[in-house]
Amino acid sequence: MKILLLRVPLSHPITADMSDMFEEDAGVYPPLGLLYLHASLRQIRPRDEVKILDCMAEGIDLNSLTARLLNYKPHIIGITVLTFHLIDVYRCAAEIKRNLPDTILILGGPHAHLFPKEVLSNPNIDYVITGEGEISFPALISHLESSSEPPTIPGVFYRSAEGDIKGAPPTLIKDLDSLAPIDFTSIKPERYRPVMEKELSAMLMSSRGCPYKCIYCDRPHLGNIFRPHSPKRVIEDIKRAMECGIKSFQFFDDTFTVVKSRVEDICRMITEQRLDIAFSLRARVNTVDEGLLISLKKAGCRRISFGVEAGSNRMLKSLRKSITIEEVMRAFQLCKKTGIETLADFIIGGPDQTKKDVEETIDFALKLDPSYAQFTVMTPYPGTDLYQMGMDRGLIRTDYWRDFARNPSADFQTPVWEEHLKRDELVELFHHAYRRFYRRPRYILRELFKVRSFDELYRKARIGLKAISLRSTEGRR
């Protein structure tokens, strides 16, 4: 079998929660899901020829992609689809089937997990994989190779001979260590260098699933059961990447620090084995303490991203964050004390929030004074408790995400939470937040002193100028 794992070219993405305006300057991130699929296929079906084609990283448009596909002629193409990229995925699917009608097209990822029936209503899509695909994707290929009967594989959806859409719910992979490690030689790491990183950088996941209950979480395909790799496996993954010249890592776990003893073990092994690396991660403020931060710093932790989201305990409670303002302040003070940079995420708007509440959040961001801040406008994503809450309250009158999944349109505008503040007001407050945070002379001077190269200065300057020059209208949106 010739199997191609494809990241499609983007020309018609729908806009998200305003955070996407910085994506073009932040660099392209590796296709982590495809890398894990690639590794699993190579392990389970070693005789197959498996390739990854990342059109975003290689600058390939739809015409160039078609030429490559006609030259390669894959038997099977797998695509991970996000809701924001659905239009471009469907354009590619139509082009694939027009030129290679016998190629089997399989879709997976968050959007396919939430809307398998809607995806399969597109005649160009042959199968949908929900949940995690490392086991079910190779199993589906083996089934197609050996049987003409409908698949009965957990997580796989298909069209029956009668035209009905059928499938079985997915099961979570319990033992992550049983999965094959990523092979970074399957891509060119030099194509992926985020703005914050000087060295070759890679993304890893040391765990899957988030045990917390925030109402806006939009990663349902990974579940809410925390499933970690062992510390030994994490170290092995780091070493494999280092063999490719990679020395900087971003751990893409929802929350890296759920189990402190595991983090301590990882840090100890990095230190004892003298692995010369730098890394960043995402954590919750109530899962770190001074001892853990000292261990992380010693092991090479450069930056931690915290979801702060709001500036009062009342707002944090409405978001079901299960943290307090006092815990936020303590975590950021400890990071400053130990010399770890911080990135604080904040949400503009949300349940029961007024303009005064949003201003309180912005004031808190300035008081907290993280190394970096990111502001987003509250967006009810499909499959979240927030989305259901909006429908229950009558704020969301139609299931617009499902409507979009059935009939994606380029003029679709991602909705925001308009309970007390209208869209224009939220956008103005979003711009106001960035201007207040990044226009501070003290902050600008601090960042200038941290720059390590001209390339870093150029990329940071582009993002910084965009942040401080935001206007009070949506502009290009």
Distance CA 152, CA 163 (A): 17
Same domain for 211 and 156? no
Among 147, 156, 157, 101, which residue's Cα sits nearest to residue 124? 101
The total number of residues written for the chain in this structure: 477
What phi and psi, each to the nearest 5 degrees, are found at residue 202? -135, 155
C-alpha dihedral (16, 18, 22, 28), degrees to nearest 10: -20
Among 47, 97, 50, 45, which residue's Cα sits nearest to residue 70? 97
Q: pTM for the full model?
A: 0.91
Question: Where among 379, 398, 429 does a domain terminate?
Answer: 379
Q: What value does the mean pLDDT take over residues 420-444?
A: 93
Same domain for 232 and 373? yes
- Whether residue 415 lies inside any domain: the answer is no
- Whether residue 408 lies inside any domain: the answer is no
Q: What value does the mean pLDDT take over residues 126-134?
A: 96
252 three-class SS: coil
Q: What value does the mean pLDDT take over residues 301-319?
A: 97
Per-residue pLDDT at 200 exceeds 90: no
Same domain for 92 and 198? no
**162 or 259: which carries more pLDDT confidence?**
259
Give the pLDDT band of residue 477 (cuts 50, 70, 90).
very low
Q: What value does the mean pLDDT take over residues 309-329?
A: 97
pLDDT given at position 433:
96
Distance CA 310, CA 67 (A): 49
Same domain for 66 and 204? no
Q: How many CB atoms sit inside 10 A of residue 452's CB?
A: 8
Same domain for 159 and 225? no
- Whether residue 116 lies inside any domain: the answer is yes
**140 or 25: which carries more pLDDT confidence?**
140
Distance CA 215, CA 39 (A): 33
**470 or 474: which carries more pLDDT confidence?**
470
Among 206, 152, 154, 150, which residue's Cα sits nearest to residue 177? 206
- Whether residue 452 lies inside any domain: the answer is no
Domain that holds residue 257: 193-379
Among 166, 170, 177, which residue's Cα sits nearest to residue 113? 170
Same domain for 25 and 104? yes
pLDDT given at position 475:
34
Same domain for 161 and 199? no
Distance CA 39, CA 233 (A): 15
* Residue 393 CA, distance from chain mean position: 29
Same domain for 209 and 275? yes
CATH of the domain at 38: 3.40.50.280
pLDDT given at position 19:
54
Distance CA 31, CA 10 (A): 14
pLDDT given at position 453:
55
- Whether residue 124 lies inside any domain: the answer is yes
Among 417, 345, 405, which residue's Cα sits nearest to residue 375? 345
Give the percent of the chain with pLDDT over 70: 90
Question: Where among 351, 379, 407 does a domain terminate?
Answer: 379
Same domain for 359 and 212? yes
pLDDT in tens, 259-306: 999 999 999 999 999 999 999 999 999 999 999 999 999 999 999 999
- Whether residue 411 lies inside any domain: the answer is no
pLDDT in tens, 436-465: 999 998 888 887 766 665 455 545 555 555
Per-residue pLDDT at 236 exceeds 80: yes
Check: CB of residue 407 under 8 Å from CB of residue 392: no
Distance CA 291, CA 264 (A): 9
- Whether residue 82 lies inside any domain: the answer is yes
Counting the structural domains of the chain, the total is 2
Tokens of 394: 């009558």
* DSSP conformation class of 11: S
pLDDT given at position 17:
53
Same domain for 37 and 73? yes
Amino acid letter, 324: T
Same domain for 57 and 205? no
pLDDT in tens, 8-64: 999 988 876 555 555 555 567 889 999 999 999 999 999 999 999 999 999 999 999
- Whether residue 410 lies inside any domain: the answer is no
User: Going by C-beta distance under 8 Å and a sequence separation of 6 or more, which residues neighbour residue 302?
Assistant: 278, 279, 280, 340, 341
Same domain for 233 and 163? no
